[in-house]
A and B are shown apart, each in its own frame.
Chain A
């Protein structure tokens, strides 16, 4: 019974993530040219977006804003970066879907379909869509720098764990050497 519920919950979560990653965005910030370009498959500009991601999440910009010591500016920065980050993730997700659709159409007319390769490709597609969904979820929930923050928090936690481990083993060494003394 419980297993059934868990299965349904995981399935619902996955569907929600996929819907989130394909969610609609407001086009108010885009020029018609940009909107047209958004639909272009594999354009050179799309390749640039990997570089753009570094700009969107740039720690230099974040530091610059933090140094202004203005809560209003920091709020605006969070809002603006969240919007741009969500735009990028959703766009990536849409492009991946479009590429897969094209590939599916081509594969339909192909004479020799490699089932193993197709299965692997489909697995990668699902993984990418899932990651996009997770990204949208995290950005909406925790803000645009969520991943960077999570990574640095994990790093700190790892260091803390290492220190605790050392302390614990030092204490147990002392205890065991104390036990050995007659």
Chain B
């Protein structure tokens, strides 16, 4: 659809999504997961009741799809260090035990579903590869902090 009214409505839906929803999500990685969760697993069509009621079903879908693509490419072009920070923020925001989350993500790789449809194949490869590396960095940090913890948390030795 290329008619100006349609494009304007879609643009409004896109901005509304950024302003009212995505800006309240703490980091880009969490935004990516949120947008991927708006997509039906079976048919890959995006759904957002509020947005669809205000701007129309099709415009809402396109706004969600465009936002998903934007966030995805932003994360792909992020240096590894930045991605680790994003993932760390996501783990904190999830309120899950970091060890459990890292284990589950390394084992099941659920982040694969966060990739938008029709994404460039090299971008997909780089993204998945960077997530695997970022998870390993987080695991390493966890191991290091756990290795330091018992020593500092030991009760003081009784005086002789």
Contact = CB atoms under 8 A, between A and B. Distances in A.
Given A60-B81, A68-B137, A84-B122, A76 B132 contact: yes
B148 to A, nearest CB: 15
A48 B123 contact: yes
Contact of B136 (A31, A45, A76): A76
Interface stretch (B3-11, B88-96, B111-119): B111-119
A53 B119 CA distance: 16
Contacts of A68: 137, 140
A80 B122 CA distance: 13
A120 interface: no
Given A55-B77, A58-B79, A35 B121 contact: yes
A55 B79 CA distance: 8
Interface string A20-58: 000000000111011111100001011011011001101
Interface residues of A, number: 36
A125 interface: no
A51 B80 CA distance: 16
Contacts of B116: 33
Nearest to A60: B79
A70 interface: yes
A36 B149 CA distance: 49
B76 interface: yes
Contacts of B66: none
The residue among B44, B121, B132 with the most chain A CB atoms within 10 A of its own CB is: B121
B139 to A, nearest CB: 9
Given A37-B118, A60-B79, A30 B124 contact: yes
Interface in A61-78: 61, 64-65, 68, 70, 72-73, 76-77
8 contacts: A30-B121, A34-B115, A34-B123, A34-B124, A45-B120, A68-B140, A84-B126, A84-B129
Interface of B: 44, 76-77, 79-81, 112, 115-126, 128-130, 132-133, 136-137, 140
Given A72-B140, A73-B140, 4 more contacts: A33-B116, A55-B126, A73-B136, A83-B129
